[in-house]
Chain A
Amino acid sequence: GQNIDQPTEMTATEGAIVQINCTYQTSGFNGLFWYQQHAGEAPTFLSYNVLDGLEEKGRFSSFLSRSKGYSYLLLKELQMKDSASYLCAVRDSNYQLIWGAGTKLIIKP
């Protein structure tokens, strides 16, 4: 079966750095997406990785290792508004998006 694993919940402090991990087992790989979803709002696109390595976009970075079936989302200089759920999704060989259950990130002052 296909599976995406990410921690259910994480807590971090304002101004700090947090890394949210995502491991996947899918039938094939055609890219990995990270989305942010605030409570009661639409998921919004953060990043897309298809090649190994680090993609940096402002305070957010996303890393991919295809050989390890592993990705992480790195959030720097955390702000209270970063409190949200972070969803990892992998596109498989059939071009279906397989989603993780999401990681709820709680930022404390």
Chain B
Amino acid sequence: ETGVTQTPRHLVMGMTNKKSLKCEQHLGHNAMYWYKQSAKKPLELMFVYNFKEQTENNSVPSRFSPECPNSSHLFLHLHTLQPEDSALYLCASSQELAPQNIQYFGAGTRLSVL
């Protein structure tokens, strides 16, 4: 257990569906992140939130919409996805955005877009 919980663990959706991924951290951290992990590729940072405010959006398509209602919860709302969006989506948190801060990851949501 890393203290970061992601649900669901697996998700299959059609291109016209709308779904949401949920992340909850029990570590008292102030920064939260969404990453995309595709096979044999480096982790791609998608969004960063610090004290509930979005500080980073790495040119992510608008079909991905993040939401951070408080420092413990992070959502990723999905709509009209493409098959190439199939990947493992990882959530992480850190105490703050300082360079030496360790990021703690959830186990991810394995997303398949049909």
Contact = CB atoms under 8 A, between A and B. Distances in A.
A95 B106 CA distance: 21
Given A4-B42, A43-B90, A97 B103 contact: yes
A70 interface: no
> Which of B43, B45, B90, B107 neighbours the largest number of chain A CB atoms within 10 Å of its CB?
B43
A42 B45 contact: no
A96 B47 CA distance: 12
Classify chain A's interface size. 20 to 34
Nearest to A29: B99
Interface in B33-71: 40-43, 45
B100 A42 contact: no
Q: How large is the interface on B (under 10, 10 to 19, 20 to 34, 35 or more residues)?
A: 10 to 19
Interface in B93-110: 97, 99-100, 102-108
Q: Which of B4, B41, B103 has the most CB of A within 10 A?
A: B103
A97 B90 contact: no
A4 B41 CA distance: 11
A99 B42 contact: yes
Contacts of A99: 42-43
Given A87-B43, A100-B42, A44 B105 contact: yes
A89 to B, nearest CB: 8
A40 interface: yes
7 contacts: A35-B105, A42-B4, A43-B90, A43-B105, A48-B100, A50-B99, A98-B42
Interface of A: 4, 8, 30-31, 33, 35, 40-45, 48, 50, 87, 89, 91, 95-102
Interface of B: 2, 4, 40-43, 45, 90, 97, 99-100, 102-108
Given A43-B105, A45-B103, A102-B42, 18 more contacts: A4-B42, A30-B99, A31-B99, A31-B100, A33-B102, A41-B107, A42-B2, A42-B106, A43-B90, A44-B105, A45-B102, A48-B100, A48-B102, A89-B43, A95-B97, A96-B45, A100-B42, A102-B40
